Amino acid sequence: MPIPICATCGTEFPQGAYPSTCPICEDERQFVGAGGQEWTSQEALRRSHRNAFKQEEPGLIGISVEPTFCIGQRALLVMTPEGNVLWDCVPMIDAATRTIIEALGGITAIAISHPHFYSAMVSWSEAFGDVPILLHEADRDWVMRPSKAIRFWSGDTTEVLPGLTAIRAGGHFAGSSVLHWTDGAGGNGALLTGDTVQVAPDQRHVSFMRSYPNGVPLSAYVVGRLVERIEPFRFDRIYGGFWGRVIRENARRAVAQSAARYIDAVKGRGPADFEE
């Protein structure tokens, strides 16, 4: 029997018959396509897609499914002297991907920002020897394919490996997290943010949303708390969840300025494009 994969969000479900619905897509932060709920599988994806790899900087490899599938995110493989961590996940895993990653030192752990990027996390874990999958416990109910490899962490931070700290920022989901990489950006520190902190196309600003596809904003209070939780960490660069969404320098200032702009806007203090 196949392992069902939702064709809209890319999330795996337990092996067996295709479910009638995908709870992740039924939630207000995502959506069910106009044609209704659709499913695919690893076997089907491997016939039409491949994984692409790109070095973002020394010690950091981006991975995405091509042609673009579902949400279109890319994962990030962070390579450290203590082992490699896969941050976020993509829906497909194949033999070529395993060969490439094994040549880079394999995977020691998987850590994921939020449920929209849980994707094929269990298949990826199994492919590399049932490595642990670290998820924040606040998002426990969004796990669609349970596994003994899943480790739920609590609180505001957890050390994934030395020099890699997951930070519960909240916002997009209750457990939405970012990953602080001490050695990133040439030792100046980097944040890997998925879309908990969404890098804008201009690569100079960020934004924050409860739902990106449905245009549901976060409150000023939640954004303020999110920024407070990442503020203690030193970083000069941000890698967002998609290709090209990178702020390469002065990222801390970009977050502060963008958050202030966002809070002013949702409180009604931003510039108005209409006359009273």
C-alpha neighbours within 13 Å on the C-beta side of residue 188: 12
| Of residues 73, 78, 82, the one with CA closest to residue 58 | 78
Tell me the percentage of the chain whose pLDDT exceeds 90. Answer: 93
pLDDT score recorded for residue 272? 63
User: pLDDT value at position 256?
Assistant: 97
The CATH number for 5-266, chosen from 1.10.260.30, 3.40.640.10, 3.60.15.10, 2.30.110.10, is 3.60.15.10
Q: 263: Cβ–Cβ under 8 A, 6 or more apart, which residues?
A: 220, 223, 224
Hey, what are 201's tokens? 């196309």
pTM of the model: 0.96
pLDDT of residue 276: 55
CB neighbour list of residue 103: distance below 8 Å, 6 or more residues apart: none
User: Which residues contact residue 272 at a Cβ distance below 8 angstroms, ignoring those fewer than 6 apart?
Assistant: none
Structure tokens of 24? Answer: 């992740």
Q: Which two tokens stand for residue 44?
A: 């089907």
The mean pLDDT of the chain is 96
Chain-centre distance of CA 180, in angstroms? 13
Q: Is the pLDDT of residue 71 over 90?
A: yes
Cα(197)–Cα(194) distance, rounded to whole angstroms?
A: 7
Q: Give me the pLDDT at residue 33, please.
A: 87
Give per-residue pLDDT as tens, 155-191.
999 999 999 999 999 999 999 999 999 999 999 999 9
pLDDT tens, residue by residue, 211-234: 999 999 999 999 999 999 999 999
- The answer for residues whose C-beta is within 8 angstroms of residue 42's C-beta and 6 or more apart is 2, 3, 5, 92, 93, 94, 120, 123
Report whether pLDDT(273) > 90. Answer: no
> Alpha-carbon distance 7 to 22, whole Å?
10
pLDDT in tens, 14-42: 998 889 999 999 999 999 988 899 999 99
Give the separation between CA 4 and CA 42, rounded to whole angstroms.
8
Q: With beta carbons less than 8 A apart as the criterion, state whether 109 and 151 touch.
A: no
pLDDT band (50, 70, 90) for residue 141: very high
Q: CA-CA distances (angstroms) from residue 78 to 29, 31, 62, 180?
A: 28, 31, 9, 11
Query: Does residue 274 surpass a pLDDT of 70?
Result: no
The predicted structure's pLDDT at residue 2: 86
Q: Note the pLDDT of residue 169.
A: 97
